[in-house]
């Protein structure tokens, strides 16, 4: 008996695999409902976050910086996933591929540079080390006049020395 070749037979192994996955998932859910224990207590109803037992009620929320770090980590991981295949075929792509990947990296590094500039990644002990190594001078408002940064007393001192 010959196996017919056509669009259905070409995708038959894939369709069988999808069917097996769906059957396994459904069987797992049904088994957990039927075989799982049904007793509930206060410990099971409390929110669970990374193994940290909440000391106060309600449990405190994570700071926004935590989520910024997590999202930037995911973005940089995705960037690495796309950079690896590029590195393997860089010679075949030529100049067009180089320009395309440069634009891709630039689009992903600009938000990362923004996160660095607002201090989203400087928290905890790292922040103290960075402050010791690279002292950053920041003001609460944008300053464009150098005399305003020094102050009016310094201008008078300069005029007094010149006279």
Domain range annotation of the chain? 16-135
User: How many angstroms separate the Cα of 10 from the Cα of each of 3, 50, 56, 80, 106?
Assistant: 11, 45, 59, 33, 41
Residue 14 vs residue 65, higher pLDDT: 14
Task: Classify domain 16-135 by CATH architecture.
Answer: Up-down Bundle (1.20)
State whether residue 139 is helix, strand or coil: coil
pLDDT value of residue 122 = 67
Residue 22 vs residue 70, higher pLDDT: 22
Mean pLDDT to the nearest integer, 150-157: 49
Mean pLDDT to the nearest integer, 132-149: 57
Residue 128 vs residue 155, higher pLDDT: 128
Residue 80 has pLDDT above 80, yes or no: yes
Please give the backbone phi and psi of residue 75, each rounded to the nearest 5 degrees, phi first.
Answer: -60, -45
pTM (predicted TM-score) = 0.39
Residue 120 has pLDDT above 50, yes or no: yes
- Tell me the average pLDDT of the chain: 74
């Amino acid at each position: 008996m010959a196996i017919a070749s056509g669009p259905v037979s070409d995708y038959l192994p894939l369709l069988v695999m999808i069917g097996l996955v769906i059957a396994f998932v459904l069987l797992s859910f049904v088994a957990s409902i039927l075989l799982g224990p049904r007793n509930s207590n206060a410990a099971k109803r409390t929110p669970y976050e990374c193994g940290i037992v909440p000391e106060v009620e309600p449990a405190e929320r994570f700071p926004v910086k935590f989520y910024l770090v997590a999202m930037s980590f995911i973005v940089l991981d995705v960037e690495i996933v796309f950079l690896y295949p590029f590195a393997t075929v860089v010679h075949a792509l030529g100049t067009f591929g180089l320009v395309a990947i440069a634009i891709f990296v630039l689009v992903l590094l600009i938000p990362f540079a923004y996160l660095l500039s607002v201090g989203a990644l400087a928290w905890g002990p790292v922040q103290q080390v960075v402050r010791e190594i690279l002292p950053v001078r920041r003001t609460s408002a944008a300053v464009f006049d150098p005399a305003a940064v020094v102050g009016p007393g310094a201008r008078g001192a300069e005029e007094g020395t010149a006279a």
